[in-house]
Amino acid sequence: MINFDKQAIDIFYFNKNGNISINPSHTSKRWINKHYNEFCDLFTYLDNKYDDLSFENNLCEILYRIKNNILEVPKCKICGKPAKFISSKDGYSKTCSQSCMAHLEHNDKIKNNFYEIRTINRLKIRRPELFYDWTKISKENDEWILENFLRFNQKNICPDTNKLENGLWSKNPINKNIVNYIKNRFNNSSSIEENLYWLYNNLTQRPVCKVCGNYVKFHNFINGYNNTCSHSCKNLYPPTREKLINTNLKKFGVKFPLESKEIKDKCYKTLSKRIQENYYNSPKSEITVYSSKGEHIIFDILKKHYPDVLQYYRDKRYRNKTGYCWECDFYIPSIDVFIEYQGFVSHGNHPFNENDENDIKRLKYLYDRFNNENIKDSSKGIIASEINCWAKNDIIKRTVAKKNNLRYVELFEKNLNKITDDYVMNAINKVLNENA
C-alpha cells in the first residue's frame, strides 16, 4: 500500500542549504496540471485528507499539517476560533485576528510585569543593597562596602579580587551602581582597591612625599602608599639613607661603595682603555663611569685651557627648593663658571622659551603624542622625559642660576664633530662678557 503522506513530503519538499522547505515550483498550478495524470491518486488523497481544507486553495497548509502531524487546526488563545495559517515556514498564528492578537499582547505584558514585580520583591529580601541610594555618599553605604568588599586572607585583611575592576562581580550589570559608587567615592583616588584603602584607614587627603611634598604612588591595599615619590627622594629620605649607609658599612666598611679602593679596582677593570687613562686622575672617580662621548670631548678641550676644571661638581648655590644640590657637568673654579652639556635629545636643541610660538607648538605636539592611545608605552617614556627635561627641569635650573648670579653656560650641540675649541670657548667668553 502506498504511503501518500511520505510521497507528498518527498515530492513537495526539498532541502535548501540545510533547511527543508516547500518547493514553490511544485505547488504552482502549472506544475500540478502538467503532472496531474502521474500523481492523480496523490492529489485526490490530499484533497480528501482534511474536511476543512481543499487541495486547490490550501495546498501549503495541508502539507504543513502532514509534515508536523497536526490533526486539528489550533484554536485562538483569546476567542477559541480556528487560528490563522500564516505560511509553511511560520505555521499557525496564536490568534485568529489582529484584535485578538492585541488582547494577547496586553495579557503577556501584564504577565511579564507580574514576574518582574515578583523578581524585585525576591531581590529586596536576598540583596537589599541593590536598592540603597548609591547616588549619595552615606555612612550606611560605606559600612556595607567595607563589610562585603574586604576579606581576611591568612594574616592580612585584603580586598576580594572578584569585586575589583576586572572581577566577575564588578562586570555584572546588576552591580553597576555599587561599582560606580566605590569608583567615584574619592576625587584623588584612581582605583577600587585604592578607594577601599582610603575607607578602611579613614583617609581624607592623598599622602605626599616626605621629602619634596609631591603626591606618592599607591602600592597596594596591604602596603599602602610609598613614603617617597621617586628614587632620588628615596635616597634623601633619612630612614632609607641611614639603612643604606648601615648596609654599606657592614658589607664594605665604608658609607658608599666607591669610597672603597677594592670596589674602585673592580670598576677599573670593566672600563675601556680611554676611560682607564683618566679614571684615578679625575677629581671625581664616578665621572668616567657615566660620562657620554660629548662630555669627554668637552672635558679634553676645557683641560687644555683650564687645568683646574672639575666634573660632576656640586655647589650649594646650585640646588633645588628641598636643598638637593644638582651635579653640574663641568665647573671651572678659576673663573667660577658652571657648564651643562645638554647633549641628550630630551634637552632639546635650545632653551625652552614660553614666549616663542614654535616652542609652544612643539610642547603641544609632545603632549598630544603622550596622550595618544596608539603610542607604545616605551615611546611615551621618551616623550615624557623630553617634556620634563626641556620644559620643566632645565627651566628650574636656569632660573636658580640666574637668581644666584651664576656664570651659567649651556652647550646644546649634538653633532660631536662640531664640538670644537672655538665652539666651547666662544660660549664661555660670551657668559664672561655678560657678567663682567
pLDDT in tens, 176-234: 888 888 888 887 777 888 888 888 888 888 888 888 888 888 888 888 888 888 877 88
Task: Answer with the one of 180, 206, 232 that is the final residue of a domain.
Answer: 206
Q: Is residue 237 part of a domain?
A: no
DSSP per residue, 219-248:
EETTTEE-SSSSHHHHHHSHHHHHHHHHHH
The angle subtended at Cα 262 by Cα 261 and Cα 267, nearest 5°, is 95
Q: Is residue 20 part of a domain?
A: yes
**Across the strands, what pairs with 411?**
341
Q: Is residue 175 part of a domain?
A: yes
Q: Are residues 58 and 139 in the same domain?
A: no
Q: Are residues 315 and 192 in the same domain?
A: no
pLDDT at 255: 83
Amino acid at the residue 294: G
Q: Are residues 317 and 384 in the same domain?
A: yes
Distance CA 23, CA 14 (A): 6
Q: Are residues 409 and 295 in the same domain?
A: yes
Task: Answer with the one of 206, 236, 251 that is the final residue of a domain.
Answer: 206
Grid cell 518582574 is found at: 116
pLDDT at 280: 46
Read off the pLDDT of residues 34-91 as tens digits, 9 standing for 90 and up.
888 888 888 888 888 887 787 777 888 888 888 888 888 888 877 878 888 888 777 8
What parts of the chain have a pLDDT lower than 50?
Answer: 278-289
pLDDT at 1: 56
The answer to whether 298 touches 419, Cβ cutoff 8 Å, is: yes
**Residue 145: exposed, middle, or buried by beta-carbon count in 10 A (0-12, 13-18, 19+)?**
buried
Q: Are residues 148 and 48 in the same domain?
A: no
Q: Are residues 332 and 415 in the same domain?
A: yes
Distance CA 33, CA 37 (A): 8
Distance CA 248, CA 333 (A): 32
The answer to whether 392 touches 384, Cβ cutoff 8 Å, is: no
Q: Is residue 213 part of a domain?
A: no
Cell of 299: 672635558
The answer to whether 265 touches 259, Cβ cutoff 8 Å, is: no
Q: Is residue 233 part of a domain?
A: no
Q: Give CA 422 to chain center in angstroms.
A: 50
In eight-state DSSP terms, residue 390 is I
Distance CA 268, CA 94 (A): 94
**If we measure between CA atoms, which residue out of 186, 195, 182 comes closest to residue 134?**
182
Torsion from C-alpha of 306, 307, 309, 310, nearest 10 degrees: 180
Number of folded domains in the chain? 3
Q: Does the global pTM surpass 0.85?
A: no
In eight-state DSSP terms, residue 270 is T
Distance CA 413, CA 298 (A): 11
Q: Are residues 60 and 194 in the same domain?
A: no
Q: Is residue 185 part of a domain?
A: yes
Q: Are residues 141 and 65 in the same domain?
A: no
Q: Are residues 198 and 323 in the same domain?
A: no
Average pLDDT across the chain, whole number: 80
Task: Answer with the one of 174, 206, 238 that is the final residue of a domain.
Answer: 206
Q: Are residues 295 and 424 in the same domain?
A: yes
Domain of 39 in residue numbering reads as 4-72
Alpha-helical (H) ranges within 270-393 are: 273-277, 287-290, 293-305, 357-370, 377-388
Q: Is residue 232 part of a domain?
A: no
Q: Are residues 62 and 144 in the same domain?
A: no
Q: Are residues 356 and 430 in the same domain?
A: yes
Q: Is residue 399 part of a domain?
A: yes
